[in-house]
Amino acid sequence: MSAEPTATSEKTQAAAPARAARQRPVTRYWQAVGAIAWKDLRAEIRSRELINSMVLFTLMTVMVFSLALELDSDARQNVVAGVLWVTVVFAGMLGFSRSLAAEHDRGSLDALLLAPIDRSALFFGKMIGNLLFVLVISFVLMLLLTVMFNISLIEPLLVVMLLLGSVGFTTIGTLIASMSVHARARETLLPILLLPVSLPLLISAVRGSAAILNEMPSEDWLPWIQLLAVADVIFLAAAYSLFGFIVEE
């Protein structure tokens, strides 16, 4: 717990008076965030390109898992948390690279950078768009696995787990995807960069979800939820203070 959180808190303190000096900073900031998220959402509602392919991808992944692992009912109980999270992670990665690559190729990110808004507002706008997308996939997966694996995944605790995991994963995913779009082999670089950093999240989420699904006592899943929450805060703070350095040009 040494250098990283200290640095981010210093950055936040430095940024705070600058923003307070501006007129009505809070509403402006969140308006910008909302506008960017809404822009992505509207484009997606119109084309339905990403969500259709992702739902199909999710369906196929679940089928591949059940065929490859030859799951009987006992085995399903044990691996369902892993199947859930691995599918979310892979589908999410496809989504992040699409969302940022489209922005980069059209050059619309450069146009957004010219707008007089805080760089981090740009980040949170993109991130909320991606988060909605990951949440839709998670929701579809919950229904799908409940039906196909015959295990009820619709539990409030698991929803909390999914929310916390998705927030952390989307934050770090959006941040890293905005770097990897500049690389030569961006499709291969994104998983290489993103997986090691998000594996702590993934492990906590899988272990925690498995404990919840197996109806273990709270001391078996509570530490994982706490770890997820701490990781979310660290990643959000890191993204808030670092995104400006990625997009500056």
Partner 1 sequence: MAYPSQRTRLLQGLTVATVVLFAIALYLALFWVGPERTQGEVQRVFYVHLGSFLGAFLSFTATVVAGIAYLRTRHPKWDTLGLASVEIGLGLSAITVITGMTWAKPIWNTWWTWDPRLTSVAIMWLAYAAYLMLRSGIEDPERQRRFAAVYGIIAFASVLFTIIIVRVRPDTIHPVVAGPTQADPTGSFDVTDRIRDTLFFNLFTFAVITAVLIWHRIRLENLVQRVSRRKMELLAEL
- Residue closer to partner 1 (CB basis): 144 or 176: 176
Cα–Cα distance for residue pair 91/175, rounded to 1 Å: 17
- Residue closer to partner 1 (CB basis): 58 or 171: 171
CB of 242 to partner 1, least distance (A): 5
- Written as six digits, the tokens of 225 are 């939820």
- Residue closer to partner 1 (CB basis): 15 or 197: 197
Cα–Cα distance for residue pair 183/111, rounded to 1 Å: 20
Distances (CA, A) of 19 to 25, 108, 201, 202: 6, 25, 31, 35
Q: Does 2 bind partner 1 (CB under 8 A)?
A: yes
CB of 4 to partner 1, least distance (A): 5
Q: How many residues bind partner 1 (CB under 8 A)?
A: 36
Scanning the structure block, which residue is given the tokens 């950078």? 113
Q: Does 1 bind partner 1 (CB under 8 A)?
A: yes
Q: Does 69 bind partner 1 (CB under 8 A)?
A: no
CB of 125 to partner 1, least distance (A): 19
Strand, coil or helix: what is 71?
coil
Among the listed residues 54, 134, 172, 237, the single contact to partner 1 using CB under 8 A? 172
| Spatial CA neighbour of 102 closest among 164, 47, 26 | 47
Instruction: With residue 247 as reference, give the H or E element that holds it.
Output: helix 218-247
Q: Does 167 bind partner 1 (CB under 8 A)?
A: no
**Are the CB atoms for 239 and 175 separated by under 8 Å?**
yes
Q: Does 236 bind partner 1 (CB under 8 A)?
A: no
Selected range binding partner 1 among 78-86, 94-102, 119-127, 199-207, rule: CB under 8 A: 199-207
Cα–Cα distance for residue pair 191/177, rounded to 1 Å: 9
Cα–Cα distance for residue pair 56/62, rounded to 1 Å: 10
Radius of gyration of the chain (CA): 19
Binding to partner 1 by CB under 8 A, coded x per residue (else -) over 204-233, reads ---x---------------xx-xx---x--
Q: Does 196 bind partner 1 (CB under 8 A)?
A: yes
**Are the CB atoms for 93 and 188 separated by under 8 Å?**
no
Selected range binding partner 1 among 24-32, 65-73, 94-102, 176-184, rule: CB under 8 A: 176-184
Cα–Cα distance for residue pair 165/141, rounded to 1 Å: 14
CB of 245 to partner 1, least distance (A): 5
Q: Does 3 bind partner 1 (CB under 8 A)?
A: yes
* Binding positions for partner 1, rule: CB under 8 A: 1-4, 7, 172, 175-176, 179-180, 182-185, 189, 192-193, 195-197, 199-200, 203, 207, 223-224, 226-227, 231, 234-235, 238, 242, 245-246, 248
